[in-house]
Amino acid sequence: MVKLPIPYSTQEITSADISAVTKILKSTFLTQGPAISALEKSFATYTDSNHCVAVANGTAALHLGILSLGVAAGQKVITSPLTFAASANCILYAGAQVIFCDIDEETGLMNLDILQELIDLHPDCKGVIPVNYAGMSTNTEKIRKIIGKNKFILEDACHSPGGYFIDSEGDKVKSGSNKYADAAIFSFHAVKHIAAGEGGVLTCKNKKIAVQALKLRSHGITKNSHELIENHGGWYYEMQALGYNYRLTDIQAALALSQLQRADQMLARRKLLAERYLHDLVNLPLKLPVISEEIGHAYHLFVIRLAQRTELYDYLKKQQILCQIHYIPVHLHPYYQSLGFKKGQFPKAEFFLRNMYKYPFISFYDG
């Protein structure tokens, strides 16, 4: 028997997770202890990245990513409108200008032809934040070719831990890795693959970016003797930049690290569920996601599109099966409208929401 109601998302907490957390509760450090660096090390290995900085949440990771990559007020950064608002908000946090790049109608990822046009139109833009919508890795090799060496790629990989694409050299380029991207971010929010309640990480290529993010994570303060301008002994510290309190607790880090140990297992389970949906829903009047072996999908969302979206949503809700619409394009939110963005400006993302293929969409969590 299926247990009702079926929530939008359920986390899996094992006895190993509980002991990992309990161990921290009985230890010396609740925050800034050894679990943080253990998580950072393991996550860097998991994503094939050079450096990893653990922070309070995915949004904080985006904010520190933007700042550490050197984005300043007035500069331009490109992102997708088909995403959670945080991918664009981080650009505004830095006082910079959001430029939306409309999507590919089939995948929901950034449309690379449109990206090329935008780069031609805004040669002064600082970088791009592609979003790995639903769990599909963006082809950062192609983005790198379009934008050149001097602009950054900050991959919003919240949907795609464990995901990858195959590049033209035949390499498996993992989400969060540094072959083409300068940095990437992940979230450990309760509905994400690794569910630590809250939490996130920034992975990055260069040590300089990691060092800056580390500093900004904790008020812009450093105690590292090689970074100090003056030095008055072991107790001495300096605030060198206007930072934040974006620290992760050791309690969350231990929970995230424990789940990371079985990330591959959990991904295999998601894949199995997706295959079951693909198989069982095939004869219904739905547009199902295109998931091919070589994409290396991370199966965060299983997005279906259909004509009677609202009717299906209401029907499922009545059956106590919860799902959600992903996403209202960011530029349609009242706040972004107040910044001057207009309805109709990014038609492909809007069609995705409305009725392009006569299939608006609804997304299920694996639950």
Ligand X SMILES: *Cc1c(COP(=O)(O)O)cnc(C)c1O
Of 84 and 180, CB closest to ligand X: 84
Cβ partners under 8 Å of residue 248, min gap 6: 31, 36, 39, 54, 55, 56, 199, 200
Query: Please, which residue, 98 or 222, has the CB nearer to ligand X?
Result: 98
Which of 43, 46, 84, 299 is in the footprint of ligand X by CB under 6 A? 84
Question: According to CB under 6 A, which one of 76, 126, 174, 189 is a site residue for ligand X?
Answer: 189
DSSP state of 136: P
156, 182, 250, 350: which one contacts ligand X (CB under 6 A)? 156
- Per DSSP, the residues of 308-323 read THHHHHHHHHHTTB--
Q: What is the DSSP letter of 95?
A: T
Q: Mark the segment that binds ligand X (CB under 6 A) among 84-92, 171-179, 315-323, 351-359.
A: 84-92
CA distances from 273 to 131, 192, 244 (A): 23, 16, 40
Stretch that binds ligand X, among 37-45, 56-64, 225-233, 243-251 (CB under 6 A): 56-64
Which of 49, 59, 79, 178 touches ligand X by CB under 6 A?
Answer: 59
Which of 47, 175, 187, 259 is the binder for ligand X (CB under 6 A)? 187
158 binds ligand X, rule: CB under 6 A? yes
Q: Are 154 and 117 in contact (CB under 8 A)?
A: no
When asked if residue 326 is in the footprint of ligand X (CB under 6 A), the reply is no
User: Angle at Cα 161 formed by Cα 174 and Cα 203, nearest 5°?
Assistant: 70
- Choices 105-113, 152-160, 214-222, 336-344 (CB under 6 A): range interacting with ligand X: 152-160
Instruction: State which residue has the least CB distance to ligand X.
Output: 58
Which position among 9, 47, 79, 83 is part of the footprint of ligand X (CB under 6 A)?
Answer: 83
366 in contact with ligand X (CB under 6 A)? no
Radius of gyration of the chain (CA): 21
Residue 57 Cβ, how far from ligand X at the closest point, in Å? 4
CA angle 256/259/265 to nearest 5° reads 150
Cα–Cα distances in Å, from 11 out to 165, 195, 256, 342?
A: 26, 6, 12, 37
Size, binding site for ligand X by CB under 6 A: 14
CA separation for the pair 327, 80 (Å, rounded): 11
**Of residues 44, 86, 216, 323, which one binds ligand X by CB under 6 A?**
86
By CB under 6 A, is residue 63 in contact with ligand X?
no
Cis peptide before 313 (omega within 30 of 0): no
SS3 100: strand
Confirm or reject binding of residue 53 to ligand X (CB under 6 A): no
Name which of 57 and 259 has its Cβ closer to ligand X. Answer: 57
Nearer to ligand X, 222 or 361 (CB): 361
Indicate the pairing of strand 361-364 with strand 302-305. antiparallel
Q: Which of 252, 264, 109, 126 is nearest to 183 (CA)?
A: 126
With contacts defined by CB under 6 A, name the span among 156-164, 233-241, 260-268, 328-336 that binds ligand X: 156-164
Nearer to ligand X, 197 or 220 (CB): 197
Q: Is 180 in the site for ligand X (CB under 6 A)?
A: no
- Please select the residue that binds ligand X; options are 49, 57, 137, 259, rule is CB under 6 A: 57
Among positions 58, 108, 135, 176, the unique one binding ligand X when judged by CB under 6 A: 58
252 part of the interface to ligand X, by CB under 6 A: no
Q: How many CB atoms lie within 10 A of CB 319?
A: 11
Q: Counting contacts by CB under 6 A, is residue 87 touching ligand X?
A: yes
CA distances from 360 to 21, 53, 154, 268, 301 (A): 41, 37, 29, 28, 15
State the chain's maximal CA–CA distance in angstroms.
73
Binding site for ligand X (CB under 6 A): 57-59, 83-84, 86-87, 131, 156, 158-159, 187, 189, 200
